[in-house]
Structures are given as structure tokens and as C-alpha cells.
Structure 1
């Protein structure tokens, strides 16, 4: 787990601050949709 976080940090460090923030937000959004989409698909209509 920590090694994966370290790899992500090492990937983000060389980037400018703004793109790295956008990347983090994109990752958060993708994780959010990954968690929510099964609930939406399984939700009884």
C-alpha cells in the first residue's frame, strides 16, 4: 500500500502543481464512480 502511494507521489512530484492536483481529483472522481456505479446499477428502479 505504502509502496503504491510512494510511486504515485514520485509520479506527481516532477509535474507542475496544477496538473498534479487535476490528476488527484481525476483519480478521486474515478474511484468515486467505481464505488457508486455498482450501487446505481443494482439499485431497484
Structure 2
């Protein structure tokens, strides 16, 4: 905890934004892939009907 307290507020903010950006990138990618999979399965089901 002392290491965090020793950091400047700007440094902590920069570190948090880097971590958040990294995780949001993967969440967005997963959402896009899941949406594409659902869309393709809906098209396939309509073609089979």
C-alpha cells in the first residue's frame, strides 16, 4: 500500500487507464465475435427453414 501512496495521482490514473484499455479491447473483441456468431447462426436457421 505504501508503494501506491508514494505514486503521484497522475501516475496512478495512467496505470489504471492502461489496464482498463487493455481489458476493454478484449471485451469488445469478444462481443464482436459473439455477435457475428449469433448473426451467422440466425442466417443459417432462416435458410434451413
TM-score, length-normalised on structure 2? 0.51
Any stretches of 5+ residues in structure 1 without a counterpart?
Answer: 1-14
The superposition leaves residues 9-34 of structure 1 with CA deviations (integer Å, 9 ceiling, x where unpaired) of xxxxxx81101101101011001112
What is the alpha-carbon distance in structure 2 between the residues aligned to residue 31 and residue 39 of structure 1? Answer: 12
What is the alpha-carbon distance in structure 2 between the residues aligned to residue 41 and residue 27 of structure 1? Answer: 22
Residues paired across the two proteins, number: 31
Any stretches of 5+ residues in structure 2 without a counterpart?
Answer: 1-9, 43-49
TM-score, length-normalised on structure 1? 0.54
What is the alpha-carbon distance in structure 2 between the residues aligned to residue 38 and residue 17 of structure 1? Answer: 32
Q: Which has the higher helix share?
A: 2
- Is the radius of gyration larger for structure 1 or structure 2? 2
